[in-house]
């Protein structure tokens, strides 16, 4: 793509006559184009497969003494099939305008006649390459709008002494490009930390792209992260930008990193090591510049020792590790977090709720919060919906019944279906030490279905 050192972009020029290539070099290089050359359709396709270009200027005839342009027409169709947005400008003899029209029907963007007028050729190149870059930006923005949340990043609240080492570490490493591994129990706020690190970095003006890798089916993993080209598989009806390309220049947040299958770990490692990837169905190498933040509740060192997680990938992800304490270990933050969530949901549901009764605060401070900050968030939403007074009452929280659910002597007859399901999921998570894949298998659920239930119950 065009950049400060190369303002006009990278252009592939193709012709089988050396003097034509030399004339174009003398014209284009002083204009700021980075020019590369090819002399046959096969060489053109090879170069497009191995590097990314901002434009193609190509002749329509390559075999000596032929003027039909058939080679060039087939070439244009082949290039357009691979590259949806690449500007293709064809060159043809002065008396063969009909051939140029056929080329445009095959996918060319414009044409010039030999011998060309320098100013017209330069104008066509500039116009078509600017249009192409605008289309690419539009595609990128459309995909970002589908992926990014409508709401802004949540506030980072951390006043408890247990959070001060976390804050100090984030302050030191936030502005860097270092890859960060964020660890902690489910619901401790790992995504909030990732968003805050991104905002502290020099990449803050670019996108933070988040993806829950644990919820991706293995069959779509590569397409989601690396993108695909049209026709790569049955449902690939158009080119798609992957998360790595979307995050290029910005930050990529990979949540639930421990759940990536081993086969996919190798492909992720290659991108982290080289900054290069290929979309599914394409052999063209693309370069990305991404800072990677990842998160997990698992012990990746233990997983690496057992062979279920690549040690070399762990080293790439874990330049620095930030471990988040549980909410029960940072109780000083409970009133601040609760007030923050209360204000958010009071505004969302247009209710006049502004505080807590003293008994309500006491109950929140005593609760074990097995679902951590996420459970507190869901509890405040419920409280806003349930309360009939300006101050939240203890019963509005619904914590008493949930505390009873965790006891050993409760009768299932006394519980609702949702309470039973939440209880079973908690116990299954405890038995598998929080491993989502093992829990989903034990419960007969897909990972995605389990994640939705955990989100629902604030686990």
**Per-domain residue ranges for the chain?**
10-143, 161-325, 328-457
Contact 179, 317 (CB under 8 A): yes
CATH number of the domain located at residue range(s) 328-457 in this protein:
1.10.8.60
The tens digit of pLDDT for each residue in 352-373 reads 998 999 888 888 988 889 899 9
Topology of domain 10-143, CATH:
Rossmann fold (3.40.50)
DSSP E strand stretches across 30-174: 34-38, 55-59, 88-93, 110-114
Is residue 406's pLDDT more than 60? no
Q: Does position 118 have pLDDT exceeding 60, yes or no? A: yes
- Where is average pLDDT lowest: 62-66, 112-116, 141-145, 346-350? 141-145
pLDDT digits (tens, 9 = 90+) for 127-147: 888 887 777 776 666 544 544
pLDDT band at 408 (very low <50, low <70, confident <90, very high): very low
**What's the whole-model pTM score?**
0.62
Count of beta carbons in the 10 Å neighbourhood of residue 319: 14
With a cut of 60, say whether residue 148 has pLDDT above it.
no
CATH superfamily of 161-325: P-loop containing nucleotide triphosphate hydrolases (3.40.50.300)
d(CA 68, CA 184): 67
Decide whether 10-143 matches 328-457 in CATH topology.
Answer: no
Fill in the DSSP letter of residue 198.
H
Higher pLDDT, 92 or 155: 92
pLDDT at position 3: 42
Residue 380: left (phi > 0), alpha (psi -120 to 50), or beta? alpha
For tokens 């097995």, what's the residue? 370
The pLDDT of residue 140 = 61
Cα(19)–Cα(40) distance, integer angstroms: 15
């Amino acid at each position: 793509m065009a950049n400060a050192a190369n303002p006009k972009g990278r252009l592939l020029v193709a012709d089988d006559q050396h003097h034509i290539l030399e004339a174009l070099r003398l014209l284009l290089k002083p204009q700021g184009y980075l020019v590369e050359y090819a002399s046959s359709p096969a060489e053109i396709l090879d170069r497009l497969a191995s590097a990314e270009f901002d434009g193609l200027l190509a002749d329509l005839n390559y075999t000596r003494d032929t003027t039909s342009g058939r080679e060039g027409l087939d070439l244009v169709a082949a290039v357009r099939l691979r590259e949806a947005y690449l500007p293709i400008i064809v060159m043809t003899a002065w008396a063969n305008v009909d051939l140029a029209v056929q080329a445009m029907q095959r996918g060319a963007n414009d044409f010039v006649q030999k011998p060309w007028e320098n100013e017209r050729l330069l104008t066509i190149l500039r116009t078509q390459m600017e249009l192409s870059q605008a289309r690419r930006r539009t595609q990128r923005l459309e995909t970002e709008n589908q992926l990014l949340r409508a709401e802004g990043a949540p506030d980072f609240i951390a006043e408890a002494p247990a959070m001060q080492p976390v804050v100090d570490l984030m302050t030191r490493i936030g502005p860097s490009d270092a890859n960060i591994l964020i660890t902690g129990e489910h619901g401790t706020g790992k995504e909030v930390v990732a968003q805050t690190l991104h905002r502290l970095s020099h990449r803050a003006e670019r996108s933070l792209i988040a993806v829950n890798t644990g919820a991706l089916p293995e069959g779509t993993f590569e397409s989601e992260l690396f993108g695909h080209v049209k026709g790569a598989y049955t449902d690939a009806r158009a080119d798609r930008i992957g998360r790595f390309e979307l995050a290029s220049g910005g930050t990529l947040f990979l949540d639930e990193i421990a759940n990536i299958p081993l086969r996919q770990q190798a492909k992720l490692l290659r991108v982290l090591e080289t900054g290069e990837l290929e979309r599914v169905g394409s052999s063209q190498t693309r370069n990305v510049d991404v800072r990677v933040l990842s998160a997990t509740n698992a012990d990746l060192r233990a997983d690496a020792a057992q062979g279920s997680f690549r040690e070399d990938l762990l080293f790439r992800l874990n330049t620095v590790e930030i471990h988040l304490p549980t909410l029960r270990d940072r109780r000083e933050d409970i009133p601040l977090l609760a007030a923050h969530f209360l204000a958010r949901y009071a505004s969302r549901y247009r209710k006049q709720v502004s505080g807590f009764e003293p008994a309500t605060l006491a109950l929140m401070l005593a609760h074990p919060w097995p679902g951590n900050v996420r459970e507190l968030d869901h509890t405040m939403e419920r409280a806003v919906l349930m309360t009939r007074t300006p101050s939240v009452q203890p019963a509005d929280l619904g914590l008493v019944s949930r505390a009873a659910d965790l006891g050993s002597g409760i009768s299932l007859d006394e519980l609702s279906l949702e309470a039973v399901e939440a209880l079973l999921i908690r116990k299954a998570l405890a038995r598998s030490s929080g491993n989502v894949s093992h829990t989903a298998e034990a419960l007969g659920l897909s990972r995605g279905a389990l994640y939705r239930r955990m989100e629902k119950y604030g686990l």
